[in-house]
Amino acid sequence: MSDCPFCEPEEHRILLEEGPCRALRDLFPVSPGHALVVPKRHIVSFREMHAEEWAAAHALIQRMCDRIAEDDPDVQGFNIGINDGTAAGQTVMHAHIHIIPRREGDVADPRGGVRGVIPCKARYPI
């Protein structure tokens, strides 16, 4: 699709490729190194991904995490996430998986991680 930023990304955004998927630089990173894994096929939801796309996405996530951590020793963890549908915050209607590098002290209290998408639910008794 010509108006989709993930279908035909600029060459400088492509970080890695693995069969039917590619890793891209996020244009609006929430932390340095923030990347996206996208299927090359234009689909809206991750639920439409075929098994080979999932396998390639998984391999790219692992490769990107290793690469990011190797390039930046301050990276101590990752949030891996998918916004699926407008109610979940999806703004680009092409399935994509976020890889967000995390560093000690990048937020005051990281506990709860992705649970923070609904702020009052992020913390729970442990």
Residues acting as catalytic residues: 96
The alpha carbon dihedral of 103, 107, 108, 109 has a sign of negative
Alpha-carbon torsion angle 49, 29, 16, 86, nearest 10: 10
d(CA 114, CA 48): 22
d(CA 70, CA 32): 13
d(CA 91, CA 84): 9
Give the full edge-to-edge strand order of the sheet including 14-18: 14-18, 21-25, 35-39, 97-103, 75-81
